[in-house]
Structures are given as C-alpha cells and as structure tokens.
Structure 1
Amino acid sequence: MKSAKGIVKNVYAVRLEAGEDIIEGITMLCEQYNIKHGVIVSGIGSLSKASFCDPAPFPEKPGGYGYGDTIVLEGGIELISLSGVICDDDDKNVSLHIHGAFADGEGKSYAGHLVKENHVLITVEVIIEEFENIYMARKFDEERGMMLFTPIQN
C-alpha cells in the first residue's frame, strides 16, 4: 500500500456548459487555479456524447490487463456520477484519472474510465477538493506496465 496524509486546502465548484469537453474543462480549471493535487468529489449532469473504456485482458502487458477499446455513447446521456484524482506528471502538467457512470435514454447504465470526447449536453456540475501536504502523482509502474496513482507525503 502507498499512502499519504494531508488536508483539504480549497474547494472548487464548476459548471461546464453545453458543448464543453469534461476532461478539457477540468484541465483548464486546474491550470487556471494551479490545482496539482486533489480529487473530483462529485459530478453530475448530461452529455451529448460519452467516451470511456473498461479493463480488458492484454496478456503481453506485465500485469495482464489494460484499458480496452473506447466505448462511445451518443444522444442524451445522463451523467450519474463522476469521480477521480488530480495529479501532476513528471513535467508538472495536470494529469487526470477520471471515472464516470452513465445512463442512456432507456435507463441502461454504463461506467468506465473517461477519455476525451465527453461533451456536455445541458450542464455538468463538478465539485473538486484541492489537497495540501500530499503530492499526488501518476508514475509508471513496471509490475503493471501502466501509469498508476502514487500518493507521496509532502
């Protein structure tokens, strides 16, 4: 286990508007306020397009798994839940790891790891907490063959 202890420094509330991409919008907010270490506590709203992926077997990878092909839903999509971590990468750029849960017009539910192309239909409301005394990083893990969340005590 890897862990670190810190405190909530700031809380941010943001409303993404029609046509905006969720990942691009949250990245812009983080850059605007210099948020490097935090969490997406809550996110709800509606999407005209949802793009995400789920774990799939990759026998050639060290951990045997990775993210599979992108799943795309179009039309009126309900964003039931959004959560994730806000880190910075080795070059000090914002690095997001976001998961979401969705429902289509018939109430069928979906969930997964967000990729770009999640477009707001009417609104998406997001609450973010910024941390102090925790260095939130995504580092390459040799054992799994992918970037993984690594909290470091600051």
Structure 2
Amino acid sequence: MATEATRLAPGQDLLAELERLFAETGAGAGCVLACVGSLTTAVIRFANHPESTSLAGHFEIVSLTGVLSPDGAHCHIAVSDGEGGTIGGHLMLGCRVYTTAEIVVGLLPGVRFTRPFDPRTGYPELAVETMKPEEE
C-alpha cells in the first residue's frame, strides 16, 4: 500500500478536498487511514435520512473513515462539540475546516473500486475489481 498525506487549511471543504487528493493520485482504490482536525460547519446525513443536516459551531473531528474510488468517496464522520457531545453519519459536501484537517490516505495497488447502481438498495454500491498488472 502506498500513502498520500495532506493538511487542509481553514475554510476548505473536507469532502471536496479528499476527493481531489485521491483523484490526483490516479489510483483505482483507496481508503482514509487517519484524519484529525476541526470544523466550523459539519454537514452530515444521518442514518436512513434522505437529506443532510448542517451544524454550525466548532467541532473536533474524532473519526473519519471511508472508501475512495474514481466514482467518488463514501465516508462517515464523527465530530464532537465543546461539551464533548458526539454525533456522526455520512460525510457530505460543505464541511468547512476550522483550523486544520490532517489526512492520510491509503492507496490500494491492484484494485479498482467502482460504484454501480444497486437496485436492491437504491444506491450506488461498492464493486471491487482485481486488476492485472498491465491495467494499473
């Protein structure tokens, strides 16, 4: 596994920058290995809700996990507020970095992730393809 690391600056969009970083690698499959930082806006889609919720304030990123593909990222985030209350769900566009977001991404050789539509779930779902060395 190869890795890429970056630091996001105040005001940057966490998901947009994560997808940009991954796209620039040209990799076919990846995952979020680590992320620590803070947000002023957290946009999260909660379980079994069709729409996202935008939260304003100061939040610590206590967890970010996800699968990265050329078709886009599927990430979940947990953030805590100033009293330690923690909330989490699906990471959406619009999460704005407060002071920093330090991110490490793993790049998986020999694998390509795609997200074809799955009629059973109604969502684009992960498909894993093993690549031949000449296809990488």
| TM norm. shorter chain > 0.5 | yes
Q: Percent identity between the aligned chains?
A: 27
Aligned to 2:44: 52
Aligned length, in residue pairs: 131
What is the root-mean-square deviation in Å for CA atoms of aligned residues? 1.2
> 1:18 aligns to what SS in structure 2?
coil
- The amino acid across from 1:79 in the alignment is I
TM-score, length of structure 2 as denominator length:
0.90
- The amino acid across from 1:35 in the alignment is A
- Alpha-carbon distance, 1:129 to partner: 0.6
Aligned to 1:63: none
2:51 is the alignment partner of 1:97: no
- The amino acid across from 1:118 in the alignment is C
- Alpha-carbon distance, 1:114 to partner: 0.7
Q: Distance in 2 between matches of 1:150 and 1:31?
A: 18
Q: Which runs of 5+ in 2 are unaligned?
A: 132-136
- The amino acid across from 1:72 in the alignment is S
Q: Distance in 2 between matches of 1:142 and 1:49?
A: 33
TM-score, length of structure 1 as denominator length:
0.80
2:80 is the alignment partner of 1:80: no
- The amino acid across from 1:114 in the alignment is L
Aligned to 2:16: 24
Moved over 4 A (4+): none
Q: Which runs of 5+ in 1 are unaligned?
A: 1-7, 57-66, 90-94
